Structure 1
Amino acid sequence: MSALPVVEKFLRTPEHRFSHITDFPYQPRYSEIGGLRIACIDEGPRDATPILLMHGEPTWSYLYRKMIPVLLAAGFRVIAPDLVGFGRSDKPANRKDYSYLNHVSWMKAWLLANDLRGLTLFCQDWGSLIGLRMAAEEPERFARIVLANGALPTGTMTVPKAFKIWRAFSRYSPWFPIGRIVKSGCVHGLSKAEIAAYDAPFPDRTYRIAARLFPGFVPTTPDDPERQRNEHAWDVFKRWDKPFLTLFSNRDPVTRGGYKAWMDLVPGAQGQPHAITRNAGHFLQEDKGEEVAAAIVRFVQQTGG
């Protein structure tokens, strides 16, 4: 495993920022990784089948509040971490501390520190770019994977116009309202309270560095520094014979159709009950969370979990 980056200065969102949130009753657990505190929700029996829910940009584990109850009711253990720079996790104060590789290193170290095994990974958006790397580098810890509205880009494919617009907005817009950005990725919108919950981790612009930078870390050119490592991960998945399911939505302009390569190239994806989540946008956890969670439950039960 690559050495963890040394972070000299970080920010920690005050807990009172989350006090107004009434629809997410789960208490965070913390792990110290490389001097940073990483938060996660960890609910359900310790010896139950663990479901690892990886969020993306610019959300946090709150994104999974509609899915967690369904998974717990099915008897699973549910683990939902906040990426470094998001949610209740610490946020490095210097831009130089952020990179795709650093985030994979932090979350892989978190995975190992908590000795998580037998995992069913559900990942979306940047939860996929990081989570799939974790699975490729520690495959013995993962029993199955569910991928939704995510990818593992190598910089050699065509970049969707919608992503180019989003990346430019994140770089240049003086206005960067996290909650409203999440709302724009939902077909059914969000309430004022839900928008406020997504804004909670970011008291001011100094806390939003990760949210600003992440779109620029997606490999979009052949000379990207993470191309080789992502291609290595693809080599792993081209031999992956454990169950692999895709649950992409039909109204995400960035990832629409992205499931095809996984269905074609991953041995474990053959014969699985892949589905298109209808009437859902990029954040299908918001638009169809209960439906997506139910599909995960069926998949785990059907594949011996």
Structure 2
Amino acid sequence: MKYLRTPEKSFDRIVGYPFHPHFVKVDEGLEVGEGASQGLQMHYVDEGPRDADPILMLHGEPSWSYLYRNMIPICVAAGHRVIAPDLIGFGKSDKPIDISVFSYQQHMDWMQTFIDKLNLQNITLVCQDWGSLIGLRLAAENKDRFKAIVVGNGMLPTGDQPVPKAFHLWKTFALYSPWFPISKIVESGTFKKLSDAEHKAYDAPFLNKKYKAATRAFPKLVPVSPNDPASEANRKAWKVLEQWDKPFLTTFSNGDPITRGGDKYMRSRIPGSKDQNHQTLQGGHFLQEDSPQQFAAAINEMLATK
């Protein structure tokens, strides 16, 4: 497996992301790519007291931990430890250059290694988009490690339900469009207009098309048929979630055509959602950009009343 590592200087002028970088190796013995040293490396933000229970914030496609920059300080100020990794292929994490390397299970394996190596316990999962596809599976497969879940604009699909037309269009675009402008894609999923500095930050990890294999791969990995390679594992995860009696909070936005209605669907199936203060926030798909203060406040409120 050949992979690239975005030079640290690419992130030097990012505004509003003052967090010290941390790294952990999640795959050893890989062939070294341009600018990379031995071992596939995952970057993560780790803020707040180390003895506090962690909030694990998982981003989706095609963003990175920068997405949570406005939420992290709010949760830290409430006394929480916040850990926000960059999925492999994103942000400051290493980026395999061959799109065929990526699979749903491979991403699961990388994140399992991540929580194992950091020995995370009593985790509150906060997830959106692909952060939910990975995070909800991770929580179901490591139930004893997780104490609560917060989902905003996310789902755990099994391929047994219809997929919105908007998703099929997005999948085709990701796979075949010669033009794949990361920051403009993020902006298309927000109510707000991104500033020039925000555009630069979202584009920073991806120096050229070689760095974008993961961003291209994710849409095609979503289970859209009952026989998808990930469908059975996701069904098993749903069996755990259907017995999940720990806090489960939904904080979906009011303007996401892809995940609309998923909050009600999950609340109907997951017992831990009962008596939670579920919220509908203002925003598009990337509600962390449109309503970061409200999203973070909902997390803090749930944990304060848990």
Q: State the TM bucket, normalised to the shorter chain.
A: over 0.9
| Secondary structure in structure 2 of the residue aligned to 1:208 | helix
| Secondary structure in structure 2 of the residue aligned to 1:248 | strand
Q: For 1:69-96, what per-residue CA distance to the aligned partner results, in whole angstroms no more than 9, with x for missing partners?
A: 1111111101000000000001112222
| Pick aligned residue for 2:13 from 20, 28, 33 | 20
1:245 aligns with 2:249: yes
**Alpha-carbon deviation of 1:121?**
0.5
Q: Residue type of the partner of 2:26? A: I
1:63 aligns with 2:67: yes
Q: For 1:225-274, what per-residue CA distance to the aligned partner results, in whole angstroms no more than 9, with x for missing partners?
A: 10000000000000111110000001000001111121111111111111
Paired position in structure 2 for 1:298: 301
Q: For 1:97-135, what per-residue CA distance to the aligned partner results, in whole angstroms no more than 9, with x for missing partners?
A: 111110011001111111000111000000000011110
1:135 aligns with 2:128: no
**Alpha-carbon deviation of 1:28?**
1.2
What are the residue-to-residue correspondences of 1:223-262 with 2, within 5 Å? 223-262=227-266
What are the residue-to-residue correspondences of 1:141-180 with 2, within 5 Å? 141-180=145-184
**Alpha-carbon deviation of 1:33?**
1.1
Paired position in structure 1 for 2:286: 283
| Pick aligned residue for 1:220 from 221, 224, 237 | 224
Q: For 1:115-166, what per-residue CA distance to the aligned partner results, in whole angstroms no more than 9, with x for missing partners?
A: 0001110000000000111101111110000011000000111111111111
**Alpha-carbon deviation of 1:294?**
0.5
Paired position in structure 1 for 2:122: 118
Q: For 1:209-231, what per-residue CA distance to the aligned partner results, in whole angstroms no more than 9, with x for missing partners?
A: 00011001000111111000000
| Secondary structure in structure 2 of the residue aligned to 1:245 | strand
Output the TM-score relative to the length of structure 1: 0.95
Runs of 4+ in 1 over 4 A off after TM superposition: none
Paired position in structure 1 for 2:104: 100
**Alpha-carbon deviation of 1:275?**
1.0
Q: Residue type of the partner of 2:100? A: K
| Secondary structure in structure 1 of the residue aligned to 2:74 | helix
| Secondary structure in structure 2 of the residue aligned to 1:247 | strand
| Secondary structure in structure 1 of the residue aligned to 2:279 | coil
Q: Residue type of the partner of 1:157? A: Q
RMSD of aligned alpha carbons: 0.8
1:46 aligns with 2:39: no
Q: Distance in 2 between matches of 1:194 and 1:22?
A: 8
Q: For structure 1, list consecutive stretches of 5 or more residues without a partner in the other structure.
A: 1-7
Q: Distance in 2 between matches of 1:249 and 1:195?
A: 22
Q: Distance in 2 between matches of 1:150 and 1:197?
A: 23
Counting aligned pairs with the same residue, the percent is 53
**Aligned pairs, how many?**
295
